[in-house]
Structure 1
Amino acid sequence: MTSLKLDKKFWCTYFPTTLDGNTDTWFKTLRLGTISYFAQLKYLFLTNFMQLRKYKGESHSIIGFKQKEGETVLEYFTRFINATLDVPGHDEGIIASAFTWGLLPGPLSQKFMGKKPLTWAELKERVEQYLRQEDGEVAK
């Protein structure tokens, strides 16, 4: 690997050419002489573009997730799945337990009392099985 030893003045001149789109437009709005050092530029950049960063939650952020009064199991399960999409590298045990703890008292929560699902796959399978049974009873 070749490393070029160029002075900081060159890199400061070259840096703006690496920007495009919104970052280039934002950079061009900075008034000449307002940035004294790189840490200041970094701070301004981050505070300007931080809201564009997608929030990534943690497994613990869904522990208080609850089924709403009048919400069907399917609606709750769909809302729960959407909430877990922002939880990277989640702990499957915590996810399954959070869903179970958030269920309102009813047939599905009673089924989970005997044997709680331990993984995301087991939770999904058992909820889908319950929903199929529920649909079958409605069809009768």
Structure 2
Amino acid sequence: MPHFIPYKGNEDPDRHLKYYCNTMILYRNNDVLMCKIFAITLQGEAQDWFHTLLPQSIQSFNELSFVFPKEYSSNRSIERTSDHLFSIVKDPWETICDYVKRFKVEKAKIVGCNKDIAMAAFRNGLPTEHPLFRKLIMGEELTLATSYALAEKHALWDEAKQSNKNESEKKHMEPSLTREYSVLETFTKFTVPIGQILRKLKNEPWFELPPPMKCDLTRLNHTKYCAFHQGLGHTTNDCLKWKQYLEKLTNEGRCHEYLDRSTKRPTQSGVVPITP
């Protein structure tokens, strides 16, 4: 006997009926068996409904096939037409690759989808300023398959451009970071970690927190937190801006209790200026 996926009364009854008939294809000529085995495929509320049927009220499987979907007609799936594809539009933050995947998923749900309508809908879902849209609208006798292929090429092109952009930004940032951190050894030494000093001073009326960092949040190290900037990316003890501000406070005489007396403080000419 075949194995059945149970129907619990909360899904499309027509779909379950088709599934049952296909599974029982070898027994379609045995009407009595088809009716009795059908009850095995029901669970929960659907099983309860089956037992409400009066004895001898169902004379054939064809009659059962009429009564069962009628009972659960409210769970029937709405059949979508090809025109539904015109509602699929590429989001501004969505990649071409993701748009193609989403379009394919929706198209697969439409039985007997019209290829010409699907082709037009796929093109119209793109922004008019996108180069792929111009290629599709100017292309002659393009099929949906060739449109997908063009979209995948554009996706690879977009990824290559983004990769080159990220690499260029990285090279641009590295020299400035090297210059900034080359002066770290000139800072005053303290007897406790500077993160602890921040916890002591941040509630003072004269204390000033810096503005939020302006950078690409996706590239920050989310395992590190800076209490001075109140954001991710680096630790408080490694924060250059906090060290610079702490140097200013030290020069103003606000951190003497934390000074390491065993080392010399930097001379005035060696004090690191506060960068904005």
Same fold, judged at TM 0.5 (above): yes
Which amino acid in 2 is paired with 1:139? S
Q: Which has the higher contact order (CA 8 A, sep 6+)?
A: 1
- The 1-side partners of 2:134 and 2:140 are apart by 10
Taking a change above 3 Å as real, the CA distance of residues 26 and 116 of structure 1, as seen in their structure-2 partners, is farther
Moved more, 73-82 or 14-23: 14-23
Superposed displacement of residue 46, structure 1: 0.8
Larger-gyration structure (1/2): 2
List structure 1 runs of 4+ shifted beyond 6 angstroms: 36-40
Q: 2:112 aligns with which of 83, 89, 101?
A: 89
Superposed displacement of residue 61, structure 1: 2.2
Which residue of 2 is the match for residue 78 of structure 1? 101
- Structure 2: state its 5+ residue gaps: 1-30, 165-276
Taking a change above 3 Å as real, the CA distance of residues 76 and 118 of structure 1, as seen in their structure-2 partners, is same
- The 2-side partners of 1:93 and 1:30 are apart by 49
Taking a change above 3 Å as real, the CA distance of residues 93 and 118 of structure 1, as seen in their structure-2 partners, is farther
Superposed displacement of residue 65, structure 1: 2.3
**TM-score of the aligned structures, taking structure 1 as reference length:** 0.67
Which residue of 2 is the match for residue 21 of structure 1? 41
How much identity, in percent, do the aligned residues show?
Answer: 18
- Structure 1: state its 5+ residue gaps: 1-10
- The 2-side partners of 1:36 and 1:90 are apart by 37
Which amino acid in 2 is paired with 1:25? Q
**Cα deviation 1:49-71 (Å, max 9, x = unaligned):** 45666655322221332223433
Q: CA RMSD in A?
A: 3.5
Superposed displacement of residue 99, structure 1: 0.7
Taking a change above 3 Å as real, the CA distance of residues 109 and 14 of structure 1, as seen in their structure-2 partners, is closer
Which residue of 2 is the match for residue 109 of structure 1? 133
- The 2-side partners of 1:71 and 1:117 are apart by 27
Equivalent positions of 1:12-91 (< 5 A) are 16-19=35-38, 20-22=40-42, 25-26=47-48, 28-32=50-54, 35=57, 43-50=66-73, 56-91=79-114
Give the structure with the higher percent helix: 1
- The 2-side partners of 1:75 and 1:56 are apart by 24
